[in-house]
Each structure stands twice: as structure tokens, then as C-alpha cells.
């Protein structure tokens, strides 16, 4: 009887721990992710991206944390054809630091690593023709990124299965920017 009571207590303790973690981390730390970012490096397994990779340049993103914990992410992405501007709403999935958007296809983003100030590494997936495409992005507060952070990004990209040929650093550009937030 006594040992049963004890193990029930342990089970409850474990349940409490399991519950406490997602609750704590699902609440986004606004100062950590909010505001304007430059997308300074990328890794992708998308054929379309890889074919165009020499023409791609640095993109911008602005992240607003909404009252309910959703993220409103506005992008300015220079493509060879035009400056693409759009925003998407991402909702927390319940997994730590992971968000989902169905605005433009089925997409997820997950915060992989950050120093809470100058950079963050974000893993993104997108569904295209029933296939899941994977992308790792380096978000930086400044257009110039320290070599140490680039190396760190490359290490994460390798962990996610990307090879050197599918990792690239994006050159700066002035033509396609977000307005002042």
C-alpha cells in the first residue's frame, strides 16, 4: 500500500513537471523575438531555392507578439522578380517555441537557438505538393553578422542534415526593406 502511494506521488510529480514545462515555454518572451530582423543566412532542401540560391539576397522580418501569444510576422523578401511583402499569423503549437501557420500553406517555425539579443536560429517546414520542405534560417538584429555566429549557424545546419552546398550566406541589399515598425 505504502509503495503504491509513493509511486502515485511520483507519477503526479512527473505529470506536474511535464505540464509545467510547455506552459512556461509556450509563453513567448516578447523581447526575445519581437521587432525587426535580417535573415542573413539560410539552409534549404527546396529545389526551387537551391536553383536560385546565387540570386537570393538578405530578407527582412518584423515579429509582433499579439496579446494571445500568436506571432504576426511581416516579411520583405527580395526575389529576382520583385520585392515580396506579406504577413502571416503563427500560432503556438504547444511544443516549446514552436508555431504553426496555415496562411500560405502548412508551415511551422521553431526557435532552435538564440542569445536572446543579437541572433536566433529558426527551423521552418513547409508543405509543397505533399512533400515537407525543410529550412534553417539565421535571424540577426544587424545586417553584419559576426563570423562566430555564422559558424554556429553552420553547425546547427549540419545537425539538421544540411550539407555545405545547401547552406548559404545572403548578401545585403537596399531595395527591398520593411518600413519603420
User: Considering the rule CB under 6 A, would residue 88 count as an interface residue with ligand NAG?
Assistant: no
User: Considering the rule CB under 6 A, would residue 19 count as an interface residue with ligand NAG?
Assistant: no
Tell which one of 36, 74, 113, 114 touches ligand NAG (CB under 6 A): 74
Helix (H, G, I), strand (E, B) or coil at 102: coil
| Residue number with CB closer to ligand NAG (15 or 66) | 66
DSSP element (H, E) containing 31: helix 30-33
Tell me how far apart the alpha carbons of residues 153 and 164 are, in angstroms, rounded to a whole number: 12
Cβ(92)–Cβ(69) under 8 Å?
yes
Contact stretch for ligand NAG (CB under 6 A) within 3-11, 12-20, 66-74, 134-142 = 66-74
**Beta bridge mates, 127:** 132
The three cell numbers locating residue 53:
540560391
> Which residues from 96-155 bind ligand NAG, rule CB under 6 A?
106, 127
Tell which one of 87, 93, 114, 173 touches ligand NAG (CB under 6 A): 87
User: Considering the rule CB under 6 A, would residue 93 count as an interface residue with ligand NAG?
Assistant: no
User: Considering the rule CB under 6 A, would residue 7 count as an interface residue with ligand NAG?
Assistant: no
| Residue number with CB closer to ligand NAG (22 or 64) | 64
User: Considering the rule CB under 6 A, would residue 72 count as an interface residue with ligand NAG?
Assistant: yes
Tell me how far apart the alpha carbons of residues 30 and 69 are, in angstroms, rounded to a whole number: 9
Tell me how far apart the alpha carbons of residues 37 and 39 are, in angstroms, rounded to a whole number: 6
Nearest residue to 103 (alpha-carbon basis) of 69, 72, 132, 138:
72
Nearest distance from C-beta of residue 98 to ligand NAG, angstroms: 12
Nearest distance from C-beta of residue 89 to ligand NAG, angstroms: 6
| Residue number with CB closer to ligand NAG (113 or 177) | 177
Nearest distance from C-beta of residue 69 to ligand NAG, angstroms: 13
Q: Which long-range contacts (CB under 8 A, 24 or more apart) does 46-54 make?
A: 46/126, 46/128, 46/133, 46/135, 49/135, 50/165, 50/166, 52/79, 52/80, 53/168
| DSSP label of 67 | T
Applying CB under 6 A, the residues found at the interface with ligand NAG are 66, 72, 74, 87, 89, 106, 127
Amino acid at each position: 500500500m505504502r509503495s503504491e502511494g509513493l509511486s502515485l506521488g511520483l507519477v503526479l510529480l512527473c505529470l506536474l513537471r511535464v505540464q509545467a514545462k510547455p506552459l512556461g515555454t509556450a509563453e513567448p518572451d516578447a523581447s526575445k523575438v519581437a521587432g525587426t530582423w535580417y535573415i542573413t543566412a539560410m539552409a534549404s532542401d527546396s529545389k526551387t531555392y537551391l536553383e536560385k540560391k546565387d540570386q537570393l539576397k538578405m530578407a527582412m522580418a518584423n515579429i509582433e507578439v499579439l496579446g494571445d501569444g500568436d506571432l504576426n510576422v511581416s516579411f520583405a523578401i527580395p526575389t529576382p522578380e520583385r520585392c515580396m511583402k506579406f504577413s502571416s499569423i503563427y500560432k503556438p503549437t504547444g511544443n516549446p517555441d514552436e508555431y504553426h501557420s496555415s496562411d500560405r500553406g502548412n508551415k511551422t517555425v521553431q526557435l532552435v537557438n538564440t542569445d536572446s539579443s543579437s541572433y536566433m536560429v529558426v527551423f521552418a517546414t513547409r508543405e509543397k505538393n505533399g512533400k515537407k520542405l525543410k529550412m534553417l534560417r539565421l535571424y540577426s538584429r544587424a545586417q553584419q553578422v559576426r563570423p562566430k555566429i555564422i559558424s554556429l549557424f553552420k553547425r546547427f545546419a549540419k545537425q539538421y542534415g544540411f550539407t555545405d552546398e545547401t547552406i548559404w550566406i545572403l548578401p545585403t541589399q537596399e531595395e527591398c526593406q520593411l518600413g519603420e515598425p
